[in-house]
Amino acid sequence: MKQEPSRILVVDDENFYIDVLVNLLQEENYRVSVAKDGVTALKRAWGDAPPDLVLLDIMMPEMDGYEVCRKLKTDPRSADVPVIFLTVKSEVDDEVRGFELGAVDYIAKPMSPPIVKSRVKNHLLLAKARKILENQAKMLELEVRQRTREIDRTQDVAIYCLASLAETRDNETGNHIRRTQHYVRTLSEYLVDHPVFRDYLSHDMIELLFKSAPLHDIGKVGVPDKILLKPGKLDPDEWEIMKKHAQFGCDAIIRAENELGSTSFLRVAREITLTHHEKWDGSGYPYGLKGNKIPVSGRLMAIADVYDALISKRVYKEAFSHEVAVNLILKQKGRHFDPDIVDAFAVLQGAFKNIAEKFKD
Kindly report the three-state secondary structure assignment for every residue of the chain.
CCCCCCEEEEECCCHHHHHHHHHHHHHCCCEEEEECCHHHHHHHHCCCCCCCEEEEECCCCCCCHHHHHHHHHCCCCCCCCCEEEEECCCCHHHHHHHHHHCCCEEEECCCCHHHHHHHHHHHHHHHHHHHHHHHHHHHHHHHHHHHHHHHHHHHHHHHHHHHHHHHHHCCCCHHHHHHHHHHHHHHHHHCCCCCCCCCCCCHHHHHHHHHHHHHCCHHHHHCCHHHHCCCCCCCHHHHHHHHCHHHHHHHHHHHHHHHHCCCHHHHHHHHHHHHCCCCCCCCCCCCCCCHHHCCHHHHHHHHHHHHHHHHCCECCECCCCHHHHHHHHHHCECCCECHHHHHHHHHHHHHHHHHHHHCCC
**Mean local confidence (pLDDT), 81-93:** 80
Q: Domain range holding 295? A: 170-358
Residues 212 and 335 in one domain: yes
Q: What is the pTM of this model?
A: 0.62
Q: Are residues 42 and 128 in the same domain?
A: yes
Task: With respect to residue 246, please indicate whether it lies within any of the assigned structural domains.
Answer: yes
127 located within any domain: yes
For residue 208, being part of any structural domain is answered with: yes
- Average pLDDT on 32-55 reads 94
39 and 175 part of one domain: no
Residue 281 and residue 334 in one domain: yes
Q: What is the mean pLDDT of residues 192-204?
A: 96
Distance CA 279, CA 87 (A): 79
**Cβ(104)–Cβ(77) below 8 Å:** no
Please state, rounded to an integer, the average pLDDT across all residues of the chain: 90
Q: Is position 281 within any domain?
A: yes
**Please, which contacts does 62-65 make with residues 24 or more away whose CB atoms are closer than 8 Å?**
62/37, 62/38, 63/37, 63/38, 63/39, 64/38, 65/11, 65/38, 65/98
CATH number at residue 15: 3.40.50.2300
What is the domain-level CATH number for residue 269? 1.10.3210.10
Per-residue pLDDT of 158-169, as tens digits, reads 676 666 666 666
Whether the Cβ atoms of residue 281 and residue 335 lie closer than 8 Å to each other: yes
d(CA 302, CA 190): 16
Q: How many domains does the chain have?
A: 2
> Which has more pLDDT, 163 or 91?
163
Q: Judge whether 320 lies within some domain.
A: yes
Are 114 and 176 contained in the same domain?
Answer: no
Same domain, 84 and 193: no
Q: Are residues 102 and 47 in the same domain?
A: yes
Residue ending a domain, among 139, 158, 180, is 139
Q: Are residues 247 and 118 in the same domain?
A: no
Q: Note every long-range contact of 97-106, with CB atoms under 8 Å and residues 24 or more positions apart, other chains counting.
A: 97/66, 98/58, 98/65, 98/66, 98/69, 101/66, 101/69, 101/70, 101/73, 102/69, 102/70, 102/72, 102/73, 103/56, 103/69
Q: How far is CA 21 from the centre of its chain?
A: 49
d(CA 298, CA 278): 7
Band of residue 93 on the pLDDT scale cut at 50, 70, 90:
low
Give mean pLDDT, residues 12-31: 92
- Predicted confidence at residue 49, as pLDDT, reads 87
In a domain, 159, yes or no: no
Residue scoring higher pLDDT (137 or 246): 246
What is the structure's pLDDT at 307? 97
Same domain assignment for residues 175 and 311: yes
User: In angstroms, rounded to a whole number, what is the distance separating the alpha carbons of residues 15 and 68?
Assistant: 19
Residue 162 lies in a domain: no
Strand 31-35 relative to strand 83-87: parallel, antiparallel, unpaired? unpaired
Q: What is the pLDDT of residue 265?
A: 87
pLDDT digits (tens, 9 = 90+) for 273-303: 999 999 999 999 999 999 999 999 999 999 9
What is the band of 90 on the pLDDT scale with cuts at 50, 70, 90? low
202 and 65 assigned to the same domain: no
Range from 95-99, 157-161, 266-270 carrying the lowest mean pLDDT: 157-161
In a domain? residue 154: no
Instruction: Tell me what pLDDT residue 360 has.
Output: 87
